[in-house]
Amino acid sequence: MADLSTNFLGIKSPNPFWLASAPPTDKQYNVERAFEAGWGGVVWKTLGEAGPPVVNVNGPRYGAIWGADRRLLGLNNIELITDRDLEINLEEIKATKKNWPDRAVVVSLMVPCEEEPWKKILGRVAETGADGVELNFGCPHGMSERGMGAAVGQVPEYIQMVAEWCKQHTDMPVIVKLTPNITDIRRPAEAAMRGGADAVSLINTINSITAVDLDSFAPEPTIDGKGSHGGYCGPAVKPIALSMVSEIARNPETHGLPISGIGGVTTWRDAAEFIALGCGTVQVCTAAMTYGFKVVQEMIAGLENYMDEKGFETIEDFRGKAVPNVTDWQYLNLNYVTKAKIDQEACIKCGRCHIACEDTSHQAITNMVDGKRHFEVIEEECVGCNLCVNVCPVEGCISMEPISGVDPRTKKPVDPDYANWTTHPNNPAVWAKEAAE
């Protein structure tokens, strides 16, 4: 059976599944229940000290986006960092680590952007025996208005400065948690690396308003007739998280920087995708809040089965394997051509593929043949966009089949030279270079 154990920055855990800094990791009771269920580690909900006291709202804290089947796709939260007493948190962290020495216990921190508060709280955390710290530079609401959280994470110079302070004042591994609310995620990652950070974690929540109540005309969640922007998380943010992780993983300036992946991890497959893009661990929040702590057992079993099927003994055997296959658009092989193919036995004759293609794409799918309802691809009209695959309600009914190469300018068949696409005469990058010359 596959070995799921991880060694991230010297922090060992029995599997790569950590609970992210969030309500599920707010206290010893929750964390120990999580460990009993099988989680490999936790990032304790963000601690703070100095500055105005943290007081959370006593009304609704979450807004939501659901799918047609009422499945939760995304959560918007307006909760702040922990409002529990710092001393109580520190005592519980120490007790939890003592009780569960084989599990990773990392502590999330957020204090004003001054050296002394960081020095002070780092010393207090070190006394608990915690395995490391995560600097919360990502929270987009409440704390950012106080000059913390995303307000720091959006300024690379601040990230570097605070990371340097923390590395000076602690021997614990320092992880910098990045905000996605920024134009180019590579810049803050580079700043964290310059500051000496041992790793980055991403993504934190995305600034959002999930809905507006059309009776009260206030954003949801609504507190006494008013609402505010919050942090968006859950399955819906996974594509954004994967993209940002890949940008850091393939950036020469951050090559080798360890990454803890966060954002919409709900199944073992999600976790495997983050690992394939270079992540050493994955952090989970919304899935646990939706399904409970035992959801990790399905994640563990699924990842073990996948690795056994592929012949991977440890996660290091496939970590980062997808990174070389992430490229810029200009290097995509335009000689590679696919056409849609409909499995007539699997087709339920709903017509969604036809109407999507007819109304919004390339009129490449029939709806009638010999006076009968029949859906079939008109190959010469199909451009291989795969919209039909994505709207079809029957999984596997429509597939994309590769065919011989076609010159994108002449539309005539060619003999594609896949091995040298970067210098191939059909490559747009080559066209641009020729035009410039």
List active site positions: 139
d(CA 112, CA 92) in angstroms, rounded, equals: 24
- DSSP code at position 261: E
d(CA 128, CA 423) in angstroms, rounded, equals: 57
What length is written for the chain? 437
Around Cβ 226, how many Cβ atoms within 10 Å?
A: 9
Name 420's Cβ contacts closer than 8 Å, sequence gap at least 6: none
Tell me which amino acid residue 212 is.
V
263 and 343 in contact (C-beta within 8 Å)?
A: no
Q: Which of 95, 94, 119 is nearest to 109 (CA)?
A: 119
- The continuous run of DSSP H or E covering 353 comes out as helix 352-360
Backbone angles phi, psi at 87, to 5 degrees: -60, -40
- DSSP code at position 143: S
CA dihedral 381, 387, 391, 393 (to 10 degrees): 70
Write out the two tokens for 210. 């999930």
Write out the two tokens for 428. 């747009």
SS3 call for 268: helix
Q: Is 376 left (phi over 0), alpha (psi -120 to 50) or beta?
A: beta
Cis peptide before 81 (omega within 30 of 0): no
| DSSP letter string, 69-136 | TS-EEEEEE---S--S-HHHHHHHHHHHHHH-TTSEEEEEE---SSHHHHHHHHHHHHTTT-SEEEEE
- Strand-pair partners of 201: 177, 260
- The counts of H helices and E strands in the chain are 13, 20
Q: Which of 166, 158, 176, 61 is nearest to 108 (CA)?
A: 176
Q: Is 127 left (phi over 0), alpha (psi -120 to 50) or beta?
A: alpha
d(CA 386, CA 352) in angstroms, rounded, equals: 13
